[in-house]
Amino acid sequence: MRRFAIIFGISSIWLLPLSLSAQSDAPTPSVNASAAHPETWNLYYQATSIGQHHGSFNSPYEGPLSLQSHPESDVSLTTTLFFGLRLSQNTQLYFDPEIAGGRGFSNVDGLANASNGELPRVASATPKPYLARLYISHDFGFGDATEHVESDENQLAGNRPMVRYTITAGRFSDSDFFDDNNYSHDPRTQFMAWGIMYNGAWDYPADTRGYTWGIVNEFHTRNWSFRYGMAAEPRVANGGRFDRRLLTDHGQTFEEERRYSIATHPGAIRWLQYLNRTRSGSYVEAVRLAEETGTTPDVQAIRRPGTLKYGTGISLDQELFHDLGFFTRLGWNDGKTEDFAFTAIDRLAEGGLSLKGTSWKRKDDVVATAFAAAGLSGVHAVYLAMGGLDFLIGDGKLNYAPEYLWESYYSARVMRGLVATFDLQHYNNPAYNHDRGPVWVESIRLHIEFGIKPFTAK
């Protein structure tokens, strides 16, 4: 609980000078006004701090990458500026410097569906600045029909062509464009576990901070969108530097999206596919070599450039009633190639509900719950059972069982621009090991955001 007090103290110091100019609840510009005067620029700010605690749990043995069985309390902190600039009617530039710091449980090891999506795969207690995004985006429009978009982080208010081809190039996160979901896509305001905020079976290209350099192409119509992206992969698993052999090692992502309504309730379904080529190893070859030599398997010892990893996933969100929504994700990858950039999940099935607080006169509050089942391929489980290590899990041996996570949260609007969330997670079989756990994780999250817009867009 002492750590939870620290998080409130840190956040209060940051928020005091900022809350005076918070505009998150400012009136939304009308369609006609912003169509006549589209935003030429905007500037948004966010700060998020998450305090977490887990208690002791059953653990007859531990390995080099195990979640520690003694109690742990940790705090994470991120702060981001989002600057958007309209270069021409259909061209925008976005620039997002970011600062992040904090430590995750056991150096962010020991859970496949890790508990804090705000923590990257690097444990740095001291906050450090870095470039999160720097990209340019251009729309090529077809026809006269347009659609209106509101001012937001990395989004300038105005009208865009309804039918358009958009090309985006620079530094970003692949999750900015792919695997969207209305009820679970942002660990700063929604679910926090890695395999619930995104599709955990999608090993998306990224450095340790979760960002990459690349290009995304999108063809958008009223009800359909088609996306294709190519992005740089890290040199090594969970690495901070990118592989420059782009013709050999890179990640490709494809996605098809269909938007629809059932009665008056909107929904969307997205089908994602990916092909990654990296300097990585094969669990099959690592196990075979270990059996021949009588040693512990090591997937890092047999890495080769251009090794292929592939997978697919489905994301669906559906409004059931005005304030109640449902979502689900399914994910699968080949399970034989080394996990490289995101997390150690080969199979994923999850679903959840999200309810706004209108019925109890708290329209800005949200209560939500979700269940996720993550699994491994057969050879991947054998690799870990023989003592092999992934980049974030490895107990030295393994009594395999799927890793189950139930996560629920209540998000409450405290004041203009400030939201507090209490989150509870329950893990069975952490890191797929039936011999260890279960584990309870309690979290408190504070999130602030506000925006500054040109006078004509207010």
Question: Tell me: the pLDDT tens digits for 344-365?
Answer: 999 999 999 999 999 999 999 9
Residue 31 confidence class, pLDDT cut points 50, 70, 90: very low
- Which backbone phi and psi does 8 adopt, to 5 degrees? -65, -40
Cα–Cα dist 99/188, whole Å: 14
Q: Which residue has the tokens 């309504």?
A: 261
Using a 10 angstrom Cβ sphere, with 0-12 exposed, 13-18 middle and 19 or more buried, the burial of residue 2 is exposed
| pLDDT higher than 60, residue 134 | yes
Average pLDDT in the 82-94 region? 97
Alpha-carbon dihedral of residues 72, 73, 74, 75, nearest 10 degrees? Answer: 170
Helix axes 283-293, 378-385, angle to 10 degrees: 40
**pLDDT score, position 127:** 83
Confidence of residue 378 (pLDDT cuts 50, 70, 90): very high
pTM of the model: 0.89
Res 455 pLDDT > 70: no
DSSP label at residue 203 = -
pLDDT interval class at 458 (50, 70, 90): very low
- Tell me the C-alpha distance between 52 and 4, whole Å: 7
Is it the case that residue 339 has pLDDT exceeding 90? yes
Checking DSSP bridges between strand 224-231 and strand 250-262, what pairing results, if any? antiparallel
Per-residue pLDDT tens over the stretch 295-331: 999 999 999 999 999 999 999 999 999 999 999 999 9
Contact status, residue 424 vs residue 436, Cβ threshold 8 Å: no
Share of the chain above pLDDT 90, in %: 85
Name 88's Cβ contacts closer than 8 Å, sequence gap at least 6.
Answer: none
Q: If you average pLDDT over every residue of the chain, what do you get? A: 90
Beta-strand relationship, 347-357 and 362-375: antiparallel
3-state secondary structure 391-435: CCCECCCCCECCEEEEEEEEEEEEECCEEEEEEEEEEECHHHECC
- Closest-CA residue to 392 (of 322, 434, 325, 341): 341
Interatomic CA distance for residues 367 and 410, integer angstroms: 4
Which residue is it, tokens 């887990």? 54
Torsion of CA 374, 271, 159, 96, to 10 degrees: 40
Average pLDDT over residues 47-75: 96
Rounded to a whole number, what is the distance in angstroms from the first to the last CA of the chain? 42
For residue 230, what are the contacts with CB-CB under 8 A and spacing of at least 6? 214, 215, 250, 251, 252
Sign of CA dihedral 413, 417, 418, 422: positive
Q: Is the pLDDT of residue 16 over 60?
A: no
Report whether pLDDT(186) > 90: yes
Question: CA neighbours within 13 Å on the CB side: how many for 24?
Answer: 20
Rounded distance between C-alpha atoms, residue 93 and residue 83, angstroms: 8
**Distance between CA atoms of 147 and 162, rounded to whole angstroms?**
5
24 falls in which pLDDT band (50, 70, 90)? very low
Helix (H, G, I), strand (E, B) or coil at 325: strand
